[in-house]
Structure 1
Amino acid sequence: WEASLLLGSILSATDPVAVVAALHSLGAPKKLATLIEGESLLNDGSAVVFFGVFLDMVASGAPDSSKQCPGIPPDGGCVTLYFIRLALGGPLLGGALGVILHMWIGWARGRESPVLEVAIVLVAIYGGFFVAERLHVSGVLAVVTLGIFATANVFSVMSHEGRHALHVVLSQICYSCNHVIFFVAGMISARFMWSQSECIALYKSPRSWLDLLLLYIMLHVFRTLVLAMFAPMLTRLGYGITWKEGGVLVWGGLRGAVGLAMGLLVEHNPYVDERISATVAFHVSGIVLLTLVVNGMTVDFLYHRLQPYPPNPFSMTYLRKSLRILEEECSTAIFERMLDDWFF
């Protein structure tokens, strides 16, 4: 059971980079991408907490000094405090960093140096993440909170040139990191899938592949049930989700770099039984590959098929009317200019 709970905590963390990129290219509203991205970002705290607790339970031979919550089963109060420290400590640190960044950017604007403003923001982002991890709180939640605070307060203080330069730099970093993540994910997945334990090479077992396929199906079944359970709450909060939007949300639950990173931690833990680590690595890498290849490559087809946001039948009429008015105004302006010119 402990190993199953560990695998579940790893696979609960989503990484929908490919789906969000496809939705942006398809011109989908920001509402849908925000729901998918928000789930991926804000469930980091709970996924990491449960992963740490279940990893301590699986690594029963590890000394208590290396565990977050010693004891089998771990103490409930310790688990609660650990969760609070990660889930609340990260946002609190991110808010504090946002206040510091606001004052720092205000000082840098007087220097009239867009490069300095960009450098300060990058230092706040990466430095905030490392400080959060050093303080044993969620670095991802700290950076997310910092980004929300910066969007609301900091960017209005930056100069126009600084905002433009920051947009260019962050876009390039995001583009490069996405490709590096998928490249590394492919290498790690291949090594996990074809690794052999002392007892058995899992990729040679038909039962292992059948279990992987069933796990892939059940992930989508339970994701559908959870979304259906919370759909009324989303409606009351003002989002108003339809079944077509729900279909895209279910299909957009990819697993990626976050799950692979936790799988690496399991594989390199010397106190975890080798058969358990091999089984976890096989299923994590298999689910990552299946979701990236199947879900990631077919989400655009599903979006066109469902059409959660059908095009406005009058949009082309409005466009043609606007272009006709613009053409008439331009022709009138050119004609008046010609009348005032001595040549004509």
Structure 2
Amino acid sequence: MFELFPFFLCLTLAILLLVMLAEKIKVAYPIVLVAAGLIISFVPGLPLLHIESELIFVIFLPPLLYDAAGKISWKELWKWRRIICSFAFLVVLFSAFSVALAANYFIPGFSLALGFLLGGIVSPPDAVSTGAILKFVNVPKRIASILEGESLLNDASSLIIFRFALIAVGTGEFIIHKAVGSFVWMVAAGVLMGLLVGFIIMKLHKNLPTDANIDVILSLISPYLMYIAAEEIHSSGVLAVVAGGLYLANHKFWFLSSSSRLRGINVWDSLSFLLNGLVFMLIGLDLTEIISGLGATSIYLATGYGLMITFVLIFSRMLSAFMAVFVTLIARNFITVADSRHPGYKGVVLIGWSGMRGVVSLAAALSVPEMLREGTEFPQRSLILFITFIVILTTLLLQGLTLPYVIKKINMQEVDYTMSEEEMYHAIRQELNAYALEILERDYDQAVREEVLLGQLASRLRENSERTQDMLLSEEGRNVYREVLLLQREWLLQRNKEHNITAEVINRHLLVLDLEQEKLEHI
């Protein structure tokens, strides 16, 4: 393992350079990383990588899901819960069923159980790919919320389908009432286990004398504890991490200090960035091993099968998106829906075309065992792996590269909010300043008169709350502020060379400047 350490260091450096390139050319970095990994895999002399499914399921997947759950809005998730659950469960099941029929009919040697196995592997769209692409374009809040919420839950439903199909292939039978009971247990027990572990972790944060470092480390091990605990009772580790992550994220202001939250954001952003980069690079690098396992199967024929399954997935998702709108139009006559207005074809096209596959599909395909229980070779394993790779590559390149163009072309307008986020931010800021000023003047009037700093705070709040014009800095003003901060840093670093001033004092002032810089980029 140690001899591969320099290779992974170089790989990490390559990921950083490729992500910078992706930012430069305005292409989502998962696309660039997969393509680069694919090219690098053909370089002679590179070590042959064997990716274990446990590496992705246990090491990569829990923190990535936990981070995504911590960033999603619970309010938006609950508002669009019906459409999110429809896509996360019903559409995944329909996609898996469509793949199963197509594979059983067109691919020789594929039984219906093997088709469902392949369907469970390739049915869930990837959250990271969609999020990275949406970063470059503006989409309505409802579309982003639906896609984010779906991506949190569809991994669990697809993996449940995958497990049932794996049992059916191994035993040759599928008992419906046992499958339904197992499904209910995996979902309910997974959610409850995630909430239980999350509750225990929150109590540890609150009742133990932790500091920022301990809080961050606890947050890093939390998703692993949730995932492993749920898997130990044969429930969904994915749902456990999502449920626990949502629970802790919505209570973090009650048990974490501000320093812990600030430090945690930086740590988690860096960790998620690195894990995502490694996963997508490894997808491309794994092609050599996948091709070597095809054996007598023609690579051209296998590629054709992969492209056919990709078409089935795209078609079934687009059809499902239109059916979801149709069902909503009927359901609004009987129940209260999140939005009774006709969404039109634009939202349907956006959701339907945002179906890139990624890390979960690769991990599921790699977890298919090489041998059955009776010692015979698992049927079509190498072909399943290759088809999965083709699906991931094709959806990333085809849908990933064209999605920004599709979004710009249909030009879907925001319909849920009358103000932009910037306008909302500054409106709330003015109201918040007015509220704080009211508290100071009503309850602490004497302290404001006696304490100079409190008086200055009240003056500043009064000035800000009485402004009616936009409080945004112009770009020229921002540049001036940045230059002032830069010169202040240089001055502090020069003073740091003097022997009569401690480095700790200088570092505290540098931290304040960093916080000012951060404020500048968000006002």
Q: TM-score, normalising length from structure 1?
A: 0.79
Structure 2 partner of 1:213 = 307
1:12-23 map, 5 Å: 12-23=123-134
Mapped to 1, the partners of 2:222 and 2:419 lie a distance apart of 46
Structure 1 partner of 2:12 = none
Structure 2 residue 210 is matched with structure 1 residue 106? no
**Structure 1 pair 246/101, CA: closer, same or farther in 2 (3 Å)?**
same
Moved more, 174-183 or 296-305: 296-305
Structure 2 residue 303 is matched with structure 1 residue 201? no
The one of 70, 75, 83 equivalent to 2:175 is: 75
- Check conservation: 2:140, 2:412, Cα contact below 8 A: no
- Check conservation: 1:45, 1:83, Cα contact below 8 A: no
SS for the counterpart of 1:14 is coil
- Check conservation: 2:306, 2:388, Cα contact below 8 A: no
SS for the counterpart of 1:43 is helix
SS for the counterpart of 2:215 is helix
Structure 2 partner of 1:67 = none
Mapped to 2, the partners of 1:225 and 1:118 lie a distance apart of 43
Mapped to 2, the partners of 1:50 and 1:326 lie a distance apart of 52
| Partner AA of 1:262 in structure 2 | A
Structure 2: segments with no counterpart, 5+ residues? 1-111, 427-467, 478-523
Structure 2 partner of 1:45 = 156
Q: CA deviation at 1:326?
A: 7.9
Structure 2 partner of 1:255 = 357
1:1-344 map, 5 Å: 1-60=112-171, 72-108=172-208, 111=209, 113-193=211-291, 195-197=293-295, 200-205=296-301, 208-232=302-326, 236=332, 237-238=337-338, 241-266=343-368, 268-270=370-372, 273=377, 276-309=380-413, 322=469
What whole-Å deviation, never above 9, does each CA across 1:286-321 have from its counterpart, x for those lacking one? 101101122222222221122223799998xx99x9
**Structure 1 pair 151/283, CA: closer, same or farther in 2 (3 Å)?**
same
**Structure 1 pair 304/79, CA: closer, same or farther in 2 (3 Å)?**
same
- Identity of matched residues, %: 24
Mapped to 2, the partners of 1:137 and 1:324 lie a distance apart of 51
SS for the counterpart of 2:355 is coil
Mapped to 1, the partners of 2:328 and 2:279 lie a distance apart of 31
Mapped to 2, the partners of 1:202 and 1:37 lie a distance apart of 38
**Structure 1 pair 25/326, CA: closer, same or farther in 2 (3 Å)?**
closer
| Partner AA of 2:297 in structure 1 | A
Q: CA deviation at 1:275?
A: 5.4
Q: CA deviation at 1:322?
A: 4.3
Mapped to 1, the partners of 2:236 and 2:133 lie a distance apart of 28
| Partner AA of 1:5 in structure 2 | F
SS for the counterpart of 1:254 is coil
Q: TM-score, normalising length from structure 2?
A: 0.54
What whole-Å deviation, never above 9, does each CA across 1:82-110 have from its counterpart, x for those lacking one? 211211111111111222122222124xx
What whole-Å deviation, never above 9, does each CA across 1:21-60 have from its counterpart, x for those lacking one? 1213324344323211222221233222221121222234
What whole-Å deviation, never above 9, does each CA across 1:219-250 have from its counterpart, x for those lacking one? 11111111112225567531564421221211
| Partner AA of 2:364 in structure 1 | M
| Partner AA of 2:368 in structure 1 | V
SS for the counterpart of 2:196 is helix
Structure 1: segments with no counterpart, 5+ residues? 61-71, 331-344
- Check conservation: 1:104, 1:120, Cα contact below 8 A: no
- Check conservation: 2:136, 2:404, Cα contact below 8 A: no
SS for the counterpart of 2:286 is helix
SS for the counterpart of 2:254 is coil
Q: How many residues align?
A: 308
Moved more, 170-179 or 21-30: 21-30
| Partner AA of 1:49 in structure 2 | I
**Structure 1 pair 15/190, CA: closer, same or farther in 2 (3 Å)?**
farther
What whole-Å deviation, never above 9, does each CA across 1:117-169 have from its counterpart, x for those lacking one? 11222222222112222222111111111121112223332111111111111
**Structure 1 pair 142/275, CA: closer, same or farther in 2 (3 Å)?**
closer
**Structure 1 pair 42/272, CA: closer, same or farther in 2 (3 Å)?**
farther
